[in-house]
Amino acid sequence: MTELEIMGANAKAASKSLRIATDEAKADALFSIAEHLRSNAAFILGENSLDVKDARINGMSESMVDRLLLTEERISGMAQGVIAVSRWPDPVGKVLEEYDRPNGLHIKKVSVPLGVIGIIFESRPNVTSDCAALCIRAGNAVILRGGKEAYRSNAAIAKVMRQALSESELPEDCVQLVSDTTRQSAAEMMSLTRYLDVLIPRGGAGLIRNVVDNAKVPVIETGAGNCHIYVDKAADINMAADIVFNAKTSRPSVCNAAEKLLIHKDIADNALPVIAARLRHGNVELHGDAASKSIFGDMKTATDEDWGREYIDLIMGVKIVDSVEDAINHIETYSTHHSDCIISEDKSAAEKFMAGVDSAAVYWNASTRFTDGGEMGLGAEIGISTQKLHARGPMGVNQLVTYKYELTGSGQIR
């Protein structure tokens, strides 16, 4: 057996204990993980410093080094995150439906864990504890496969978590980290259908595309957000400026940041100068179509390639549209179906937009930045699903379960 097959078998065995573990056992184990993370901070920081040193020797940019870097404070944040997840209500064992059939068969539909979850992720080491905590809270064993640059940091965090688990009622194999960080191990995980119930990639567009295209294990696709804000002809211009500015600039590197601004032609002359000036003041580079540029000159020319792009940067595409229908059509053509917004005081336009745009989150008069487990009251999340199977939007603890049917009879035959 390969390393991954052995880990798969271990995870499967651990998931059998986890599946029937009590709420308290899972919460206690998570609390213990948080304590161990805090008390072993020096060890984790030591290993992390080796990763950071190598990254600088290898010429990693300082912004990437910052993603890799752990500090006392960041480890404390990781521990706090684990504690918050430990307090989330147990999503397992909920009776979703219960009924009797005419033949007396009693049917119960009950929530159960997914089983074994594989996660392939890139550089941030905090993903190790964040994802492990969410998986355990929902009764799942997890196999983590992080990037090479963060391997010693991830291994230190995993070691500390397993130590905590070995002192808890749960098996330490609830959390395992793959030691092979080559492409080979990622490819093998994608084919590990015998042991993995689900595979979740966390990282850049390239990683996610690779996993979606090549995995035989069912995948939850997370991430890409080419999010739109459409300013309707009946918009409150000041509200529009506030929302667009917030959605674009408050954190341009995340998937719920707005990337495109669509403005109704009837309000463009009044609205665009206000909104665009505000964005330029915030150092946002604007890529406009011809109609936008004729109203506000301080823009680069948008090309066709702009409309499908997720900039993840202080850049925004701008386009004048003829109607709410035109806005919907543009969004349906180019959106990644993550989060899209209409700003309008006209209820019927808003309803048309929200019914017509087929995205995980559709907004009326609020910033797209709220598509986030915490902000939506769904707790910490493992990612934002942009596919339609299983879960859409924030994938929190409640989305890391499935269900089974329990059928009780007294000898019924068909």
In the complex, the smallest distance separating the C-beta of residue 370 from a copy of itself, rounded to whole angstroms, is 6
Residue 298 or 325 having the CB closest to a copy of itself = 325
Shortest distance, position 195 Cβ to a copy of itself, whole Å? 12
Query: Which 84-113 positions form the footprint of a copy of itself (CB under 8 A)?
Result: 99, 101, 105, 107, 112
Residue written as token pair 């899972």: 26
43 binds a copy of itself (CB under 8 A): no
| 392 counts as binding a copy of itself under rule CB under 8 A | yes
* Beta strands in 136-185, from DSSP E residues, in sequence order: 141-145, 175-177
In the set 5, 6, 20, 253, which binds a copy of itself (CB under 8 A)? 20
In 265-312, which ranges are E strands?
Answer: 285-288, 300-301
Q: Which of 189, 324, 361, 382 binds a copy of itself (CB under 8 A)?
A: 361
300 binds a copy of itself (CB under 8 A): no
Q: Does 10 bind a copy of itself (CB under 8 A)?
A: no
Q: What's the rounded Cα separation, in Å, for the pair 406 and 413?
A: 16
Burial 83-122 (b: 16+ CB within 10 A, else e): bbbbebebbbeeeeeeeeeeeeeeeeebbbbbbbbbbbbb
Q: What is the rounded CA–CA span in Å between residue 175 and residue 11?
A: 8
User: Residue written as tokens 């939850």?
Assistant: 220
How far is the C-alpha of 227 from the C-alpha of 261, rounded, in Å?
9
- Rounded-to-integer distance, Cα 222 and Cα 138, Å: 19
Site string for a copy of itself, 172-211 (x = CB under 8 A): ---------------------x---xx-------------
Closest separation in Å from C-beta 411 to a copy of itself: 4
Nearest distance in Å: CB 144, a copy of itself:
19
CA 338/CA 223 separation, integer angstroms:
8
40-48, 67-75, 268-276, 363-371 -> range binding a copy of itself (CB under 8 A): 363-371
308 phi and psi angles, rounded to 5 deg: -95, 0
Q: Using CB under 8 A, list all residues that contact a copy of itself.
A: 16, 19-20, 99, 101, 105, 107, 112, 114-115, 193, 197-198, 212-213, 216, 218-221, 236, 239, 242-243, 246-247, 250, 332, 350, 354-356, 358-367, 369-371, 375-377, 387-390, 392-393, 402-414
